[in-house]
């Protein structure tokens, strides 16, 4: 049995206590011409899973402006990412990851808040996220940012 939550929050609640990006890191806006192979690789490193195919950004509905990366300047390596999209006039976070060595530094929170800022500028008032059961830490972080469960799927 797999349990998946869909959670929602008011963008204004997510942005209450803004987390700064730690020194030595840089936020990078996704560019398909430069980064189309980077996100599949970092996804694989974050979750110890097989990498997505390099053309992952070609699927229908892909929204490159909703994808952000965190770059570690001295390591010259990407250490975090967030992928979001808009469906039925609702912005969703579909995937977020931070490599194991950099967890616990609030980089994931920073990414969620950065996406919330992006959608706030577009006039959206809510942000949704799907949480899979093996991401309990991320679910707790979402609750602390104002997200609450609005739908639960059991498969």
C-alpha 113/C-alpha 37 separation (Å) is: 24
CA dist., res. 121 & res. 103, Å (int): 28
Higher pLDDT, 43 or 99: 99
State pLDDT tens for residues 15-59: 999 999 999 999 999 998 888 888 888 888 877 766 666 666 776
**Minimal CA–CA distance to 27: which of 111, 116, 145?**
111
Q: What is the pLDDT of residue 15?
A: 96
Phi, psi dihedral angles at 75 (to 5 degrees): -80, -15
Does residue 8 have a pLDDT over 60? yes
pLDDT, residue 36, reads: 82
| 153 pLDDT higher than 80 | no
pLDDT of residue 138: 82
By the 8 A CB rule, do 40 and 51 touch? yes
Max CA pair span of the chain:
43
Tell me what the mean pLDDT of segment 71-95 comes to: 93
pLDDT of 56: 67
Average pLDDT over residues 80-96: 91
What's the predicted TM-score (pTM) here? 0.90
Residue 110 has what pLDDT?
97
What's the confidence (pLDDT) of residue 52?
66
* pLDDT tens sequence across 104-140: 899 999 999 999 999 999 999 999 998 876 677 788 8
Report the pLDDT averaged over residues 83-105: 91
What secondary structure does DSSP assign to 81-97, as a single string? Answer: EEEEEEETTEEEEEEEE
> What does the radius of gyration of the chain's CA atoms come to, in whole angstroms?
15
């Amino acid at each position: 049995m797999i349990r998946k939550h869909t959670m929602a929050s008011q963008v204004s609640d997510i942005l209450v206590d803004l987390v700064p990006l730690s020194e030595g890191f840089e936020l990078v806006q996704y560019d398909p011409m430069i980064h189309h192979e980077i996100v599949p690789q970092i996804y694989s490193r974050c979750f110890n899973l097989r990498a997505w195919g390099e053309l992952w950004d070609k699927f229908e509905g892909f929204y490159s402006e909703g994808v952000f990366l965190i770059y570690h300047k001295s390591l010259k390596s990407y250490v975090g990412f967030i992928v979001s999209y808009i469906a039925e006039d609702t912005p969703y976070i579909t995937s977020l990851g931070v490599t194991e060595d950099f967890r616990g530094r609030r980089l994931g929170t920073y990414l969620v808040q950065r996406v919330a800022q992006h959608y706030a500028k577009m006039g959206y008032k809510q942000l949704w996220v799907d949480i899979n059961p093996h991401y309990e830490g991320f679910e707790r972080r979402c609750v602390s940012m104002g997200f609450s469960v609005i739908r639960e799927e059991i498969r």
